[in-house]
Amino acid sequence: MKVASLFSGGKDSTYATFVAMQRGWDVKYLITLVPERSDSWMFHYPCVELTKLQAKAMGIRHVYMKTSGVKEKELEDLKRALSIVKDEIEGVVCGAVASEYQKHRIDMVCEELGLRSFAPLWHKDPEKLLMEEVNLGFEIMLTSVSCDGLSKEWVGKVLDQKSVKRLLELSKKYRFNPAGEGGEFESFVLNCPIFNRRIEFPEFEVVWDDSTNSGFVRLAKDLSSSKL
């Protein structure tokens, strides 16, 4: 099976790519849509330009395109990106876990293009999923948090078994999704079994807003147009 993977650089899109490769599928392309606004309904925002490094670490060709980030209109950008590679693939892999909104729209775009849609993590237990990723050697850094229970100290934190246990405790106490599927946090994978080298994360600062109890990693310099 020749596929393209919708790739944000976060834990679930990376793990979905890993699962596809474990199944023996040929991941021909990584597809990254870069939203021009932080409130995109479909696509990951913080540090997305660093997906170029991850693509190099996997040795997979990378389609990297901007999207308006405007609700529904961004689907046309997804369709445009997939149209570039559709003649070379049979299906599309995504890392959706619980978002009906995202999965339905990805399915719809794939159907329009005559491609099969695969979501290997769909409806997996979010606690078990996070533990599974860490236990398999996924080095996961939180690049943003936006929910009660997660303080500034979590922004830029690299998860290990101890911090995952604490994160799961907080998710129960404050009732947020432990996979971050509702936007409670976003992530970036520094290393995993399908990387040929670890990603050295660039210098960054933490931008924090006490009024909303949210914050994110901001790179020390703009790398969006860099070849990295």
Calpha distance 65→147 (Å, rounded): 29
Check residue 66 and give its pLDDT: 85
Write down the pLDDT at residue 225.
43
Closest CA to 71 of 50, 101, 115, 94: 101
Which tokens sit at 120? 């290997």
Digitized pLDDT (tens) for each residue of the chain, 228 residues in all:
999 999 999 999 999 999 999 999 999 999 999 877 555 544 556 788 999 999 999 999 999 998 865 666 788 999 999 999 999 999 999 999 998 988 999 999 999 999 999 999 999 999 999 999 999 999 999 999 999 999 999 999 999 999 999 999 999 999 999 999 888 999 999 999 999 999 999 999 999 999 999 999 999 866 544 444
pLDDT value for 101: 86
pLDDT at 227: 46
Is the model's pTM score more than 0.95?
Answer: no
pLDDT at 126: 94
Half-sphere exposure of 34 (CA within 13 A, CB side): 14
